[in-house]
Amino acid sequence: MEARLMAEKIARTLYNKKAQDIIILDVRHLTVITDYMVIASGRNFLQTKALADDVDDVLAEAGVALRSREGKDEGKWIVLDYGSVLVHVFHPEDREYYHLERLWDDGKNRIELDFEDGPKDQQ
Residue 51, domain member (yes or no): yes
Residue 83, domain member (yes or no): yes
Q: Which residues of the chain have pLDDT under 70?
A: 116-123
- Using CA atoms, how far residue 121 sits from 8, 35, 74, 83, 97, in Å, is 12, 24, 29, 24, 32
Q: Which pLDDT tens digit goes with each residue over 65-91? A: 999 999 988 889 999 999 999 999 999
Residue 117, domain member (yes or no): no
**pLDDT of the residue at 120:** 46
Residue 122, domain member (yes or no): no
**pLDDT of the residue at 118:** 46
Let me know: does 36 contact 25? Beta carbons within 8 Å: yes
Q: How many domains does the chain have?
A: 1
CA distance 90 to 52: 10
